[in-house]
Amino acid sequence: MSERLLVLVRHGQSEWNLKNLFTGWKDPDLTEQGVSEAKDAGRKLKAQGLTFDVAFTSELTRAQHTLKLILDELGQPGLPTSKNLALNERDYGDLSGLNKDDARAKWGEEQVHVWRRSYDVPPPGGESLKDTLARALPYYVQEILPGVLRGQRTLVAAHGNSLRALIMVLEKLTPEGILKRELATGVPIIYRLKADSTVESKLDLAG
C-alpha cells in the first residue's frame, strides 16, 4: 500500500501581508520574499524525497504562484492541479484592503480583535473562521481526502484560514485551539494518514 501523504503549505508572503492589509479575497501577488519562501518550500520537500500525484489550490494568485514555484523546484511543473474557491482565504468583507491599524482606528481595537480572533463572529460583509470552515471542509472531505486515502500523494497550497479549517479536523482541535494556531508563510506541513483518515505522523518543515 502506498503512503497516504498530504502536504499543506500556506502561500508565501504577499504584497498585502507586507503592507499589513486585510487581504481576504483580494488578489495581490507574492513579494520577492514570498517568491523566495515558496521556492524554499519546494527545496525542503525535495530534500525529503517527496514527489506528488496531484495538487489543489485556491482561485487566488498568491496561492497559485506559490504552488507553481514549489512544483518547479520539484521538477513537476505539469502536475494535475485543481483550483477551487472553497480553498480561498477567509473573506474579510468591509475590512478587505484596509490597513489593520486604520481598521482599529475606525472600529476600535477590541472590535477588530473580535473579528480577527473569534471563531464565529464575521466582520461586516465577510466570513468568520466558522464560515470559512463550512466551505473548505466539505471540499476537503469530498475532493481531497478520498485521493489521499487511495494513496495519491497530495499537495495543497492555500491560505492561513482555509488551511486552518483542514488542520482543525486533522489535528482534532477545538474552536479555541484553532484560533491559537499560527501558520507561517511558505512552510510545508507533512501529514501521513492512517486508513481511517486520522493522522499517523506530522512533520512541520519550519526553519
Provide the pairing of β-strand 154-158 with 188-193: unpaired
Consecutive H or E run containing 65? helix 61-74
Catalytic site residue from 11, 37, 65, 73 = 11
113 is catalytic: no
11 is catalytic: yes
For the chain, give the longest Cα–Cα distance: 56
Report how far apart, in Å, the C-alpha atoms of 41 and of each of 50, 126, 153 are.
Answer: 12, 30, 16
Catalytic site residue from 37, 89, 127, 159 = 89
Check if the beta carbon of residue 170 is closer than 8 Å to that of residue 148: no
Consecutive H or E run containing 54? strand 54-57
As annotated, the active-site residues are 11, 89
